Every structure is written in structure tokens, then in C-alpha cells.
Structure 1
Amino acid sequence: MKPPGNKRDILICLVLILFVIIIYWQAKDFKFVYYDDGTYVAERAHVMAGLTWDGFKWALTATEAGFWHPLTWLSLMIDRELFGNNPGGYHWTNVILHILNTLLLFLFLKRAAKVPIRSAIVALFFAIHPLHVESVAWLSQRKDLLCTFFGFSSLMAYVYYSESPHWRRYSVVLVLFILGLMSKPMIVTFPFVMLLMDYWPLQRMMMKGAAGNGIVTNAQELCTGRRPFGALLLEKLPLVVLSVIASVLVIFTEHKVQALTDLKVLSITDRFANALVSYVKYIAMMFWPANLTFYYPHPVTTPLAQVTGALLLLAVITAIIMLIWRRKRYLFTGWFWYVGTLVPVIGLIQVGPHAMADRYTYVPLIGLFIIIVWGASDLAARWQSGRLLLWVLLIVTTGSLSVVSWWQVSYWRNSVTLFEHALKIIPENYIALNNLGQYYITNGAYDKGLAYMNSAIQVKPKFGPLYYNVGLAMYGRRDYGKAIQYFKKAEQMTFVDDENRRMLGDCYRLMGEWRQAVDIYEKALEINIENVSARYGMALALMEMERKDEADKELRKTLLADPHHLSARKILMLLALKRGDMTTVVTEGQKAVANGSADAEVHKMMKYAVGETTGMDKDAFPVHPSKDNGSENKQK
């Protein structure tokens, strides 16, 4: 006896939740990894400050990470408020978002297609597939999960709108879509997905075809609520306009942070070749998810045989689908869902040095899952024992995928487990060598870190960030002369980066070459005016040059960008003490107390300023800017 609809749906949702929890439960103990997690959390002052008004205003305009995604920043700030410095809490938020995305996929597909069990199996594959582990276990992919949450919500709202079109329902679709774009512009293809859904499973599209003796009339079509293709396309126009704006914006922001690969480095031909091969590789990895890693180096030149084979295979699949698309409509929607939603990340506009990435399949694989589930169900219906065989295959597949995913999740436990696993898969993975070297250098194991860096340089001698990280090791050893050589070498390798210049400035400052340091800091700020460490370093150098008014100005700018910068606050208070400006001492001290950054020295200076401390001269608070190394060094 089948359970009633509502009880059945609740049971399905509970099963889906259970699978996700079993696979990802271990994430609660995971750490931040040396792969963008610093950029998004640990080294991002506004995020580390928690949910503040200043942080909210910053999030609305920030593009430092290459995207305009204010909702992603705000979600991380909320995590900071909830979990503090515990990375496990941030990871668990990702898991919760994956659960919500899984449930939304099931619910909107079930309502659209009116086939609960098939919809549930598609959602199950989405929940447990190893290719989706990267999107969930990697903290920095919060943006993918959040934009998918709002994207799926917009699809659910669109299904409701299709049942009874009204501007109020359409406005809900529009708002949810905008929220998705504000999380990450990955969902720019969703207007296209909605158009595919109009064809199947919603069947809103007016089709001319055989029905009995011939033609279905327009009147008959209109009675069923179907509309011409042009009308449905026009209906999506506001969404398309938003997608175009978001696409242009992301190209601008990625170019701003120098993340776009130049055509001189990777030609159009090479990009198309890699795109074709990647389409096929993703399909192969879906069926056989082995040797998955966080980074796949770009081959630059793809073998002609691979390109030709991929092109032929894709052409054959597309041709077959176009021949039978009227009889098996799910094939058309599923295939072009896969092909279409991959377009923004297939590498035609190349961001970063990778050839492909597991995370890019988070939404596109749904199209293939639809083809597999609906296709297998149709095939099983053709013979008597087909249904039983199908359930056996489902159980085996579910068990296998769950086990592989559990292991894949475990590799994301920390930087060492992630990068060592990657090197087992691809020994010459220079990004893994670089990042593992970063980890050891940051933790003081310079010899071990430099060994990995040197191995990476042998693989990719013209990759600028490698020289930057060797420079950090030399800086950590206080060998500032050698550090300068490597920071300069990094810039020669087209690594024009604000942090590289900031560290170069720090080296000059600590060697007593203050004028040179100020010049370098100014160049760092030309790249990123919000580089707090560069501005603070410049203030210290200006103080050494006795340009204290200018130093005071830079310290105030530092605190405007990062109100929790205690060193800048204390030096500003010390300068005020030296010139007898007790009002500024008290005012700045109160600000530090208010935001929780004040320490014993702050309170001591405040007491002196208001006359509570007697028998102590203001020279008891010496200023030694040359001994201040600034904030933490950021890894690349």
C-alpha cells in the first residue's frame, strides 16, 4: 500500500536529508584550507568583524574576490557571529544549504513533472554524487550553494507562476532570481532553463504536430494554456536583461582582480578544444567518479584526437535527441539543461588556470540525471522484470556513490589531506604543490615548504605566485634581501598583485629604506585601495621619516577600513599622546572599547589621558613602528 501523497513526500525528504547528513557529517570537524578560504573568511577583515553596519555597506559594493556577491559576504558574516573562529560551523552551514537545495530540487521537479518517485531519485543523485562534494565541502563555495538555493527557489516560483500566470507570481520569480545573482552570477542561464521547462515538463510551449489525423490547432493549444515560443521568450525578457547585466558585471570584476586569462596565453582555439573535451569528461566522471581532485591543470593544447572524438560524440548525442525529441521530451530538456548551464563555466571566458572543476557540475548534472532516471524508467517498463532490476540497480548505485562521496568529503578535512590527495592523483599538480608549500611555510616549517615550492617551480617556472610564496618564506626567516628578490621575480612573471607589492614594501621598511617602502606601498594601493596592511605599513614608514601628519592620516584611513585594527589604533593614540591631544586619545580608546578590540595598553593610555594615572610621563608609551611587521601575510 502506497502512503498518501503528503506522507510520502515527507518520507522522501527525510530520506534525502539522512543521506546528506551521513555523507557530510564529518565536515563539522573540518578546518579552513589554503585555497581561497583565507580570501573569503580568515583574511577578510569585514567578515571577521561579524555582522556590522560597516560590513553590510562594504558587502554591497565589494568585488575583491572577483564577483559582486553581497549575499555571500553577509552569510559568512552571520556565520562569524554564530560560530566565531570555528570553521566547522561554516562548513555545516554549507551542508544545510546543500540539504535545502536537494529538497527544493525534489519539490519543484515533482510539482512540474507530476512524477514524485522519479523526481526523488534525481534529487537523490544530486545529493550524493561525488562530483558535488567540492561545492559542499569547500567553504569558499558558499557562493555556489547560496545562488543555487535562490535559483531553485526561483524555479519553484516559476512552476507556480506557470500554473496561474499573474504579475504578482512573476514578481516573486524575479525577486528570487535577483537574490540568486546577488549570491553569485552562476545562475545567469536560468531564464534558458525556464524556457526548457516550458517545453518539458510544464508543456507550456505551443507545438505544431500530429494528433490523430494531423494538426493541432492554435485554438486547441491555447485552451490548454500553451503559448507560442515567441511569447514565452518575451516573458523571460526581464530575466534575460538581468542575466546580461550580471554577465557583463562579472567580466568587469574578474578583469579588475586580473583573474581573466589573456588570449595571448590561451587562444580561442585552445579554449574551444578544452570546452569540447570537458563536456565529455564531465559525462564520463558522472558515470565513473574516480580520481577526483580540487584542481585539474589546463593542458593549453589539447590533442587533436581528443577534440575530434569529443566533437563527434557530442554531435551524435545531439543528433539522436533532435530526431526523437517530440516523443521523449525529457531528452531534449535534460540534454540542453546540461549543455546550456555549463556554458558560463566551460572555459570560453577563462577564469584561472584550471581546465575544469568538479564544482561546475553542481547544477548542470541535473539535466543528465533527468535523462538517466526518466530513460531508465521507460526502458524498464518494456519487460516484466524491468522494474525489479531497476530497483536493484538503484540500490547498488546509491550505495556506491554514497561511499565514494564519503571518502571524497574526507579529503577536504584540512590543507594537508586535500593537497596530498591531489598530488597522488596528479603528481605534477603545481597548484597542490604550491598550496601545500604555503601551509608549511605559514606554520614555520620553511624547509619543507620551500621543497614543495621548488618542485612547483620546476613544473611551472613562469607561474608568478610561486615566487611570491618563496618570498614569504624568506620574509619569515627575516632574510629580507632574498625576499625582495623573489617578490620582484613574481612581478616579472606578470604577477601584478597588491599583496606582493605590500610585502615588498614591508621588506624595504624593515631594512630601513623608508622612502622606497612608501613608493611601493603606494603602488600596492593603486591596485587595491582597500589593502589595509599596505596602508598601515605606509603609515609606519611615514612615521620613521618624521612625516607624522601624513602617518596620522594613513592610520585613520586604516581604521576606517578596519575598525578592529588594534595596532593602528594604539599608534594613533600614541601619536596623539606625544602631541598632547588627550581628546583624541580618549575618543580612539572609546572606539576600541566599543568594538571589543581594546587591550590593557589602550585602557592604560586612556587613564593617563584623563589624569587617572599619576607619576607617569607620556614617554612611558614609546613608539617603535620599525618593529611592527604589520598584519598576517596572505598566501596565494
Structure 2
Amino acid sequence: MNKLISNKNAFVLLIIILTCITYSPVFHNNFINFDDDIYVTDNFHIKEGITLKNFQWAFTAVYAKNWHPLTWLSHMIDIQIFGMNPFGHHLTNLIFHLFNSFLLFLILQRMSDFYWKSLIVMALFALHPMHVESVAWISERKDVLSTFFWMLAIWSYTYYVKKTSIKLYLPVCACFILSLLAKPMAVTFPFVLLLLDHWPLGRWKKTSVKTHNCKILQHPLHILILEKIPLFLISVTSCAITFYAQNKGGALGSFELYSLKTRVANAIISYTRYIFKMLYPFDFGILYPHPGMPQLHFLIIASLFLILMTGLSILTFRRCPWMFTGWFWYLGILFPVIGIAQVGAQGMADRYTYTPMIGIYILVVWAIEHLFYTKKLSKKTMSSLSGLLVPILVVALSILTFHQSRYWKDSATLFQHTIDITNNNYIAHNNLANAMMKNGQIKKAIFHYSEALLIKPDYSLALGNIGIAFAKLGRTDDALKSYLKALAIDPENEEILTNMGNVFSNSENKENAIDYYEKAIFYNPDYVKAHINLGNLLMKSGDLDKAKSHYVKVLNINLDHKEIAHNQIGNLLAKTGDLDSAINHYLLALKITPDYKDAHNNIGVAFARKGNLNKAVSHFKKALGITPGDPDIEKNLNKALGLLKNNKINGD
């Protein structure tokens, strides 16, 4: 046993290695169609990487209903290093999770001086399947990144409490600010420090039990609160910015949708359900729909549990100080996202427990040791039990987490699993249908859009999406009916208005198409799809000047789809015979998107018209490499090769 303890640092390394193995499926996982498009794959600023303009955007823009500049910068850095390969983005998330796990161990061990209990808490945090969402979801970079700086802030605090000085206080503030710049959920940090002051630091004068760390001075509680005034001011500022950002983005749920009574009831249920899911680590999904008002008997049971645990932690404030800290850690950190201020359509989310659940891990681990102690078990018996049960627990959690990580393989796998484990999940049906649309499974997609609409008939997003599916199948009347239903619910939706325009454009109803495109632009002047589609229609009609104005508008908006605008301006210039200018725009399109098939084909045609057949052949071949078997491109290539062969025969 002495030899085992002397090599105990190897156990920390073992947990880290085991965590890497456990999360290894994420390296084969793709981006998903839920937030990853907003955060990475369809975000023009992120896809450009680190530039001065994008750096400024990260700190000034309210985007995706949030303000978290450090998160945006981390995604840009990933693009700079890994490009659009999801492997690298997943790797970054896992690295931060490993750092967070290790820092948690260092903090607990430094504060409490209990190695083995700190190690077990680290293992629970690192390996519990409840945290897969925070690690395996690329969009949840904000979670692991914010926690990294949050842990560094607590680590800095362990130095400050030994020798209180402004010099040592500043790193605490700096790390806390960085944590908030990644995700505002860290606002409860000052409250957490007060809990740690009670236990394990023992800084509360007269009320705290002195721990091993006798060098730390005790102070009256009001002094400890005053000490954290700068941190509380930082929290208040962050709350104000977050409220502004989410209110501006429409993320805050209406009290007309869920009354305060319903929100409070759901919060009580959620507090209890999270603990149940921690103890019964199965059936984790990406989204749990808001259940509305829970049944009375469930609400009573959950309320009694919360009252019992809260009362017990207060009654054992001095005798079991770890219980007070652990329980209120959980209640306090989770409070901002428990649903009192409703954000989104979910009733709860596993990612919200990433840091709050640490409090429960602490409570459980220290409680079990306390139980063994009160039963007066010998150290040898305790060591034997721990040596048997802890490895079994660690292995079991590793297997479950490994299995859970595999569900994040792609959108179809993830949302099918979520549908399997939840009820009435209209959002999961919609996103599964989106994945099937991308894979060309249009009829299956229509089935799941229909399932979403059976659950929520006024779900405008699914109405718009099923309209797109109907249009792809040529069911124009069904598409129009779906779009009109969606517009009755959301009349200013620029995407649905544009899709209506597309239907009329395809049916040669120019006037109606233009009307809907212009409505979309009226409600959102920066909606590039409407500008591009309207430009295409005007160019087809011969109104080249107006068409060009819409393409130029897309370039000035400086968002995504700039390559399409350059390609279309090239087509417009080619129509007028200005082939050199057309080629320049095609090249700009290819600079943005090197595998843009249409641009390769169009520049090939332009080069062929100029007589530069070698370059034309090169671009036609590149276009065929992107979409093999395309009959139009094959025709262009064969024609260019024929001309090239004739030129060689004639000696040109």
C-alpha cells in the first residue's frame, strides 16, 4: 500500500489517459446541424479565421443570441490551424476538458489536502456521460473554455487566500473576466468562492471549522463578502450584457408561453432530475423539450427532496461542512440556467451541469467517506472497499461515456437517438429531417417534418422546411400551402419569403417571385439568399444592371455566399462579352471556395471562348473531380479536348 501511495501521481495520469480513450469516438464525429452551422460551418467570420476585422467583430457583435468574444476567437483559431476538419475542433474541446479535470483535482487537493477523494471527484467529472454534450458538441466550446478560465480563477484564489494582496487578487479577477468572455454562466463565481471560504478553506470566522490549512486567516463573513465586491460588480455587468444580447436575439422566452408558476415548477423538477440522471447515467439526449406544468405528485416529491437536502446541509453546517458547500455549489451555479428566465425551447440540458455537478460529486464522495468513518470501519477495510468499488465505477462510467460519444457521430445518428429517448420532441424530428434532406432522403425527411408538425402544428420552421422538401419533389401546390401556413405564423420570415419566391421563379411567375424576394429584403436588407435569387431572376430576364446591383450588395454585406455573388457577376460580365473581368470574378469565387464546381465550369467556358483551351480543360477536369459524371461539364470538357486536338493536328 505504501508503494501504491508513493506512486499515486500515476493515478492522475491514468485518469487522463482513460479520458482520452473514453472520448476517442469524437475524433470520428462530424459537425452537426444544430448550432455548429451558426458557430462554425456557416459562419463567415469564423471560416475566415483570425483577421483584424473578425477580431473586432468577435468583441462588438451580438450573434447567435449571445456575446462571448473569447468563444468566437477560439473557433477562429481552430479554423486557422485545422480548417474545416472536425477532428481538430473536437480535439480542442477534449484538451480543454482534460485541463479542466486536472485543474479540478489540483484545486481540491490543494484546498482539502485529501488526495484520493480529490482524485475520485476528478474521475467522476472527467468520465461521467452527463458531460459528453459539453465535450462532444463543437458548439459547446464555450462550456469547456469558460470552465478552463473559471478553474484557473479558483486556482489563483488558492494563492490569494494564503497571502491576501491586490497583486494576488488581480489574477483572480482577470481569469474570471476571461471565463465570462467565453460563457456568461460563470456569473456565480463570487458566490462559489464564499462557499469555498466556508469549506475547505475555513475562512469564515466562528462559523467555519478550521481545516488542515491553519495558515489561512479567518474573517467575519461580512469582510469576506466585501472582499468580493469587485467580483460581484463584474458579475452584474456580465448579467446586464447577457440580458441585452439574449433579449435582442429573441432568446428569452415569453412569460405568455410559460408562466412564472410553470417556470418555477420546471426548475424544481429539473434540479431533481439532473441528480437522478447523474445517479442513473443513461438516456442522454441533445434536447429535452420543455414539458410545461409538471404533474402535481412529481412536483411535490421533487420539492420535498430539495427541502430535505437544503435543510440537512444547513443543519450539518459545522459537522459536515462539505455538504453545505457541495449542495449550495450545485444549487447556485445551476440557478442562472435552471429555467426561471427561459432561454430556448428546452426544459433542461445536460451541458448545464458541467460545473454545477462538481458540487454533487464532492458531496457524494465526502459523504461516503464520512459514512465509513461513522461506521468505524478500519482503514484496511475502507481501502479494500475503495480499491474494489472505485475501479468498477470508473470502468462503468468510461464504457457509458464511450458509448454516448458515438451518438454524436453525425446529425442523423444524434437526433434519431434523441427521438428514441424523449417524447414529443418536435425539434429533434425537424433536425433529423434536415439531415435526411442533406443526404437526399427527401421522402423520409417529409415523414419526420410531418411528425414534428403533428406534435406542434404551429412550428413555422418545420412548415418552411417541409415546403422545401415538397418543392424538391415537384409538389408545388403542397410547397406553397406549407409556406403560406408558415407565413401566417411568422409573416416577416425572410427565408420562407425567399422560398416562396423560388417556387414562383421556377414556375416562370416572374412578378410574384420578385414581389416575395423584395419582401424578404424589406424585412432583412442583409439577407443574401434573397439578393442572389433576385439577381439571378433579373439576369435571366435581361435586366443586367439591376441584377448586378444585388450581387454587389451581397459583396458589401460581407457575410457568407460571397463566392456565389462573384460567380454570378462573372456570368453577367460573360454575357456582355467582358471575358477578362468575368474570369477575375470567377477566380475570386474560387479563392473563397476552391471546390466551387460552378465557378470551375464557368471559368472553363470563359477560357475556351478566349481560346485558352489548356486552362479550360484544367478547370473542366477540376469541376468533374468535384461532381463526377455531370453531363454538362463532360460535354464542355469533350468539346474543349476536341478543339485542342484539332489545333494540334493543324499545328496551332
Which TM-score band (shorter chain)?
0.7 to 0.9
Deviations 1:351-381 (A, max 9, x none): 1222111111111110000111112122223
Match of 1:82 in 2: 81
Paired AA for residue 290 in structure 1: F
Q: Distance in 2 between matches of 1:84 and 1:138?
A: 17
Match of 2:130 in 1: 131
Match 1:250 to one of 227, 242, 259: 242
Residues 1:306 and 2:306 aligned together: no
Change (3 A) 1:339 1:299: same
1:449-468 alignment, distance < 5 Å: 449-468=445-464
Q: CA RMSD in A?
A: 3.2
Paired AA for residue 327 in structure 1: R
CA contact (8 A) 1:380 1:390 kept: no
Paired AA for residue 566 in structure 2: R
Match of 1:383 in 2: 377
Question: How far has the Cα of 1:54 moved from its partner?
Answer: 3.7
Match of 1:570 in 2: 567
Residues 1:115 and 2:114 aligned together: yes
CA contact (8 A) 1:135 1:362 kept: yes
> Quick one: percent identity of the two aligned structures?
36
Residues 1:190 and 2:177 aligned together: no
Question: How far has the Cα of 1:275 moved from its partner?
Answer: 0.5
1:600-611 alignment, distance < 5 Å: 600=600
| 586-595 or 74-83, which deviates more | 586-595
CA contact (8 A) 1:260 1:350 kept: yes
Question: How far has the Cα of 1:128 moved from its partner?
Answer: 0.7
Q: Distance in 2 between matches of 1:537 and 1:27?
A: 38
Q: Distance in 2 between matches of 1:250 and 1:511?
A: 45
| 443-452 or 482-491, which deviates more | 482-491
Deviations 1:563-592 (A, max 9, x none): 762220133345456678899768756755
| 45-54 or 434-443, which deviates more | 45-54
Paired AA for residue 445 in structure 2: G
| Aligned length, in residue pairs | 603
Match of 1:626 in 2: none
Deviations 1:185-223 (A, max 9, x none): 121111211221122222223335899xxxxxxxxx999
**SS of residue in 2 equivalent to 1:349:** coil
Match of 1:326 in 2: 318
Unaligned regions of 5+ residues in structure 1, if any? 212-220, 615-636
**SS of residue in 2 equivalent to 1:163:** coil
CA contact (8 A) 1:72 1:143 kept: yes
Change (3 A) 1:397 1:3: same
Change (3 A) 1:535 1:205: farther
Q: Distance in 2 between matches of 1:345 and 1:530?
A: 32
CA contact (8 A) 1:380 1:387 kept: no
**SS of residue in 1 equivalent to 2:60:** coil
Change (3 A) 1:3 1:520: farther
**SS of residue in 2 equivalent to 1:302:** coil
Question: How far has the Cα of 1:126 moved from its partner?
Answer: 0.2
Change (3 A) 1:454 1:68: same
Question: How far has the Cα of 1:398 moved from its partner?
Answer: 1.5
CA contact (8 A) 1:515 1:541 kept: no
Question: How far has the Cα of 1:52 moved from its partner?
Answer: 3.6
Match 2:431 to one of 430, 435, 442: 435
CA contact (8 A) 2:19 2:98 kept: yes
Question: How far has the Cα of 1:523 moved from its partner?
Answer: 4.8
1:546-557 alignment, distance < 5 Å: 548-557=544-553
CA contact (8 A) 1:416 1:436 kept: yes
Residues 1:71 and 2:70 aligned together: yes
Unaligned regions of 5+ residues in structure 2, if any? 614-652
Change (3 A) 1:502 1:12: farther
Question: How far has the Cα of 1:26 moved from its partner?
Answer: 1.3
**SS of residue in 2 equivalent to 1:203:** coil
Match 2:307 to one of 315, 327, 331: 315
Match of 2:25 in 1: 26
Q: Distance in 2 between matches of 1:368 and 1:210?
A: 21
CA contact (8 A) 1:475 1:483 kept: yes
Deviations 1:114-164 (A, max 9, x none): 222211111110011111111112222122111111211222122222222
Change (3 A) 1:579 1:414: closer
Change (3 A) 1:458 1:52: same
Change (3 A) 1:179 1:502: farther
Q: Distance in 2 between matches of 1:465 and 1:563?
A: 21
Change (3 A) 1:312 1:554: same
